[in-house]
Amino acid sequence: MSADEICGHRLLDLLHFPVSARPREQFTALSSGRRSRFTEKAKGKDAAGSLFPVEITALAVRGLTGGSAGVVVLLRRLTAAGAPQADPAPAPVDGPVLSTLDAQVLEGVARGESTVQLASRLYLSRQGIEYRIGQMLRRFDAPNRPALVSRVHALGMFAAGQWPPRVLPERIQP
């Protein structure tokens, strides 16, 4: 269903649970603070009213005072066998892509970790870390570590609004 079609419907009207009282009890427990999350299998209803298997995960969101501020609900469509439905193939990425190790080094540099801290955490030598950073400095034409982080951020390689900084998964070679 589109967002316009969903708007105005209650969440529980769009889902079908094997036992109807259970989800209401679980949502009540979330909002009262007795639970922090729950996961259930259910059936979702599409625009034609047909049912399909889903997994629903609900998480309580706490406000600054510790009370319940809301609930986040995640729905994941399942295959008929009950396994998560495969995500569509990711679109090709324009721009630079890093190895997993280079992404970890870059994330550490962005957090302000020293060469020794990076070497210890990633089980590499100091020279290995310096070599990888030097390669990235040349690749991104940056004179120093802060400029490297700035350049990579400007290229959109970091997830927005996230601390500690994380390289986007689509920017990491599989």
pLDDT digits (tens, 9 = 90+) for 59-107: 887 777 777 677 777 778 887 666 655 555 555 667 889 999 999 999 9
Predicted TM-score of the model (pTM): 0.50
Q: What's the average pLDDT block by block, 10 residues per block, for the chain (174 residues)?
A: 71 69 76 81 77 82 72 77 58 81 96 95 96 96 94 90 87 88
Question: In this structure, what token pair is assigned to residue 5?
Answer: 């079609």
Give me the percent of the chain exceeding a pLDDT of 90: 37
CA distance 130 to 118: 10
3-state SS, residue 172: strand
DSSP 32-96: HTS-SEEEEEEEEE-TTS-EEEEEEEEEEEE-TTSSEEEEEEEEEEB-TTSSBPPPPPPPPPPS-
Predicted local distance difference test score (pLDDT) of residue 62: 75
pLDDT of residue 88: 57
- Structure tokens, 143: 């004179």
Output Rg (C-alpha) for the chain, integer angstroms. Answer: 22
In the chain, the domains with their CATH numbers are: 3-77 (3.30.450.20), 100-171 (1.10.10.10)
